Amino acid sequence: MSGINPFRYTAGPVDFNLQLIRQNKHWQHYLVDFPVVFSDHLPGGDVARGEYFEPLGKNAAPLVILIHGWGDNSVIPLKWMIPGLIKRGTACFVLYLPFHTKSLTAEMKSGLSHLSQDEWFTGYQTAVTDVMRILDWAGQNNQINRSQISLISLSLGAIVGSIAMGIDTRIKAGVFIVHGGNTGKIMQTNSVSRFGKKYRLSPDVYLEKQKNYAEYLREVGQKGFDNVRPMERNYLIDPLTYALMLKGRPVLMIDARWDEIFPQDSSDDFQKACGDCERLVLPASHASIWIWYPIIVRRINKFLALTCHN
């Protein structure tokens, strides 16, 4: 790592281990592991984990990277999408985040609700570079069309996905489900009680920090991300920092009108910053958005077909 960008690394050999566990007439299903980039990763091991679904009879298939949210069960609705994507000839890679219990020691599993700021930062750093290593691997896989790589990401995974897409143009299109930007605003204005006193600031301190972050974003817009040193390190893991880099690129946001974690203001901020991208707002809360699953899937399939999978 060098300079301001905490996600920069020197690409080395693509050392992915794929273990075939299932096959039918439509696809092959692999368990995947590969080394993480940084040695100061979130404690839990040196290995990132995922699953890869490769359609049979399809040369140079489009690839979708699916990134789940907080909690192991958040990967389930994303996995529901895989059969339909495979049927359309699209390969799928499910990435397990460093916060997933597959990636953690027993000690870290019990302490997930009390992560330090350093552990949060390192977790995001690891997750974003894991996505970039998947892109390295895909670029050397002749079964994947490197010009047709997109991602579908959810909540915490959408933060990771939007950062990764912002800094890596190899991702051609992005779907962000229940997502927002401006972490300071999110933590100050969400209605989740467990965040309460732990993250709330006094009004004066909050307004001052928002002013400082707005000034940082203004400078980034003028001088470029790599030329502005942030006042606070957390600016570097805020998706709003990278939204400007998504202008003119295919982005679909799918949000919940009554999201208790990502307030509508934070989603509005992200949409505006990335150039008023396409957005669907559904009458739901953060978790209950999946009652609209058929609508969500149809919208995603249409978006991908019209952008990088046509």
Domains and CATH numbers, the chain: 19-106+115-306 (3.40.50.1820)
pLDDT of residue 235: 96
Asked whether the beta carbons of 135 and 170 are under 8 A apart, the reply is yes
pLDDT of residue 59: 84
Pinpoint the alpha helices (H) of 140-202. 156-167, 183-189, 196-199
Residue type, 298: R
Q: How confident is the model at residue 57 (pLDDT cuts 50, 70, 90)?
A: confident
Asked whether the beta carbons of 153 and 177 are under 8 A apart, the reply is yes
Weakest-pLDDT range from 20-24, 189-193, 273-277, 296-300: 189-193
pLDDT of residue 136: 96
Distance (Å, whole) CA 91 – CA 58? 9
Nearest to 162 by CA among 267, 75, 239, 217: 239
Q: How confident is the model at residue 2 (pLDDT cuts 50, 70, 90)?
A: very low
pLDDT of residue 103: 64
Is the pLDDT higher at 106 or at 12?
Answer: 12
Highest mean pLDDT among 11-15, 68-72, 189-193, 207-211: 207-211
pLDDT of residue 118: 83
Strand 251-256 with 173-177, pairing: parallel
Asked whether the beta carbons of 270 and 276 are under 8 A apart, the reply is no
Is 277 a residue whose pLDDT tops 90?
yes
Tell me the pLDDT of the chain averaged across its residues: 90
Distance (Å, whole) CA 301 – CA 151? 12
Nearest to 304 by CA among 148, 146, 77, 156: 148
Is 164 a residue whose pLDDT tops 60?
yes
Distance (Å, whole) CA 69 – CA 96? 9
Nearest to 250 by CA among 158, 181, 165: 165
Distance (Å, whole) CA 124 – CA 41? 9
Highest mean pLDDT among 36-40, 68-72, 114-118: 68-72
Asked whether the beta carbons of 108 and 43 are under 8 A apart, the reply is yes
Distance (Å, whole) CA 260 – CA 262? 6
Distance (Å, whole) CA 82 – CA 107? 32
Tokens found for residue 261: 């974690």
Q: What is the mean pLDDT of residues 124-138?
A: 95
Q: How confident is the model at residue 307 (pLDDT cuts 50, 70, 90)?
A: confident
